[in-house]
Chains A and B, each alone.
Chain A
Amino acid sequence: SQQGEEDPQALSIQEGENATMNCSYKTSINNLQWYRQNSGRGLVHLILIRSNEREKHSGRLRVTLDTSKKSSSLLITASRAADTASYFCAPATYGGATNKLIFGTGTLLAVQP
C-alpha cells in the first residue's frame, strides 16, 4: 500500500468555475480511487480508475491517470456550492495480505456562491 499526496492543500473558486486537484504516488498501482468528504461525515467514493485506463468520466467529474508520471488529476466542471468538501485520492495495490488504502491529507475545496 502507499499514500497518495494531493495538491493543492486548499482551493477556493467561484461557483461555475472548474476545479482541478492533483494526486501523486510513488509505486505501481492496480487502480486509483477518489473520495469526497463533507464536513463531519464519512468518505464517499467518487470514481475508480484502473491502471490500464487513462481517463474516466462520471457526470461533472473527469479523472485522468498517467502511470508513467505516477500522477492523477480530478477535474470538477461547472462547480456548485454543494461541491464544497475535502477530496482524497487513494492509490491501491492489491495482493497478498495487504488489501488496504492509505489516504493522504486531501484537498479542501471551497466553492463560493
Chain B
Amino acid sequence: DGGITQSPKYLFRKEGQNVTLSCEQNLNHDAMYWYRQDPGQGLRLIYYSQIVNDFQKGDIAEGYSVSREKKESFPLTVTSAQKNPTAFYLCASMGMGNQPQHFGDGTRLSIL
C-alpha cells in the first residue's frame, strides 16, 4: 500500500544529543514537510522540500536540520540546539498541483 512511514514511533533524547527522525514515502510525491505539534496546539511547519536536494525553512526551523538526498526520504534531525524538543513530530508529502497532503502517524519525542 502507498503511504508515509515515520519511525520510530517513540524516541527519547538525552541532553546534548542529536536525534534523527525518519520519514519515508512511496507515493512518488515531490514535496515533503515536517511539522511540530505541541499538546492541544495546531501544527507548526519546521522544514519543507519541494524537490530532491532542495529544502526551505518553515516557521520554526531553529534547532532542526533536514536533508533530501532521495525523493522517498526526508529525515529530520533534532539537534542539541533545540532546547525544548519534547513534541509530536509529523511528516507529510504532497503530489503535484492542488492535492491534499498525506501524513505519517508521527514520532513522539521526549527528553530523558
A interface vs B, CB < 8 Å?
30-31, 33, 35, 40-45, 48, 50, 88, 90, 92, 94, 97, 99-106, 108
Contact = CB atoms under 8 A, between A and B. Distances in A.
Contact of B100 (A30, A41, A45, A106): A45
Contacts of B109: none
19 contacts: A30-B98, A40-B106, A40-B108, A42-B6, A42-B90, A42-B104, A42-B106, A43-B90, A44-B103, A45-B101, A48-B98, A88-B43, A94-B97, A99-B94, A100-B45, A100-B48, A100-B58, A103-B43, A106-B42
Interface in B24-66: 31, 33, 35, 40-43, 45, 48, 50, 56, 58
5 smallest CB-CB distances across A and B, nearest first, come from: A42-B103, A45-B100, A105-B42, A103-B43, A43-B103
Contacts of B6: 42
B42 A104 contact: yes
Contacts, number: 56
B69 interface: no
Contacts of A104: 42
Nearest to B101: A101
Nearest to B50: A99
A60 to B, nearest CB: 19
A100 to B, nearest CB: 6
Given A33-B100, A43-B103, 20 more contacts: A30-B98, A40-B106, A41-B105, A41-B106, A42-B4, A42-B6, A42-B92, A42-B104, A43-B90, A43-B101, A48-B98, A90-B101, A92-B98, A94-B98, A97-B50, A99-B94, A103-B42, A103-B43, A104-B42, A105-B42
A11 B105 CA distance: 24
Contact of B102 (A30, A41, A45, A88): A45
Contacts of A108: 40
Contacts of B35: 103
Contacts of B43: 43, 88, 103
A72 B50 CA distance: 28
A99 B42 contact: no
